[in-house]
Amino acid sequence: MKQRSDYTFKYNIKNGRHGWLRLTPAYSIKLVKEILSSDTLFATECQARNILDPFCGTATTGVVAAEYGLNCTLYDINPFLVWFCKIKAKNFQDTSLEMLVKKVESDIKSLQKLDKNYWLPPMKNIERWWSEDTLASLSTIHNYITTQWGCPNYNDDYNLLWIAFARLCIETSAADFNHISVSFKDNTTIHEWKSVTDMFLAILMPMIQSAKTNLTGNVTIHEGDSRLLQYDGLYDTVITSPPYPNRISYIRELRPYMYWLGFLESGEEAGELDWKAIGGTWGCATSRLNTWMQKNSHLPQMLLDTCNAIESSDTKNGKTMAAYVRKFFDDMYIHFGNLRNHLKPNASINYILGNSSFYGHFVDTDLIVEEMLRELNFSNISSTIIRKRNSKNNLYEYLIRASYN
């Protein structure tokens, strides 16, 4: 089994809107297209499709569906991702984009770097991310976008500037997200002012060009908890990828974007958001596991046995990690149970999920989810390994499929 980078975020980087902002856990547009094309409804009833992605991340499913002219509804609990998805799925006017480009190019060329009293986001250990000189350059561009255009919102074309700025923050940082945890280079890089402005324009211009290609389908995006989908709607297809039960949280990678763009103001806020999310493990989300109580009495015995083994394997953290795994699947059970209320007859669901390992004990995500789906009266349940993950041996990603009558 290969690692299949063509099924990961790497495949999206040079594919128009899909490359606007990377998120390492994201899956590729190629995988979404393959799932769609393998569905018997796709060829015969394509335009009638109503697709749902309850863990939308960077809207890969939604934008692919809209490129096919389909209707798609997205959910995410992270307000930054909801904002980003709304801009990514927006249709723009060419004349407006041309005016934006012309003004920004002129402004950036004449912009002078701030040398004192510049604003910085309240990130802990920010000096690990950027050198002082780079921070001054980033803050200058941040100040320019804020004062000349405005803060991030859900409507205006200038939000593309904020997405380009978020990319700029990562590309000038000393952080590395190319593996399951964040690491930092030994030293931050000093980026000269001109190189920073050139990089900003180099990021922005391809984004503007790709924004000129309009989407023919309709994408609706909600900020909400995927355990309790609260908006009316019936769907015939679900394509999604929840977090995995492996203690790797989206908030880790999104943190710099969210601080710079005003979606986070403290580490406490980050922890609260992670606690609300399925699989969250940042800050208080970990400590609260010690007092968390299981809500469902129908979790598979294989899951409970695995959690008991994890708890017994480490006297210091075993109990917390076992609670983490149990809570993850307890939350997913709630999600699947509620999902049934939003599915049309014979609807198909497609979940991309990975297994994990704690203290040598494997959490067989595919088998556990299959058993939960059977308990909840789903049918035609199957799972297929789609790729080996770039990590330890025997860690895979699965496509878990089922239907609901």
Transcribe 133-191 into DSSP letters: HHHHHHHHHHHHHHHHT-S--SS-TTHHHHHHHHHHHHHTSSEE-SSSS-EE-SS----
5-90+216-254+267-404 in CATH: which number? 3.40.50.150
Model's pTM, two decimal places? 0.93
Residue 128 in this model has a pLDDT that exceeds 70: yes
Domain limits, the chain: 5-90+216-254+267-404, 94-211
Q: Average pLDDT, stretch 332-355?
A: 95
Higher pLDDT, 348 or 230: 348
Nearest to 23 by CA among 163, 130, 200, 141: 163
Residue 391 in this model has a pLDDT that exceeds 70: no
> What 3-state DSSP class applies to 402?
strand
Alpha carbon distance 7, 58 (integer Å): 15
Q: What is the pLDDT of residue 267?
A: 87
DSSP H or E run through 352: strand 343-354
Please spell the DSSP secondary structure of 259-324, one letter per residue. HHTTS---HHHHHHHHHHSTT--STHHHHGGGG-----S---HHHHHHHHHHHHH-TTTHHHHHHH
Nearest to 52 by CA among 269, 270, 273, 219: 219
Mean pLDDT score of the chain: 91
Are the C-beta atoms of residues 385 and 397 closer than 8 Å to each other? yes
Residue with tokens 């708890």: 311
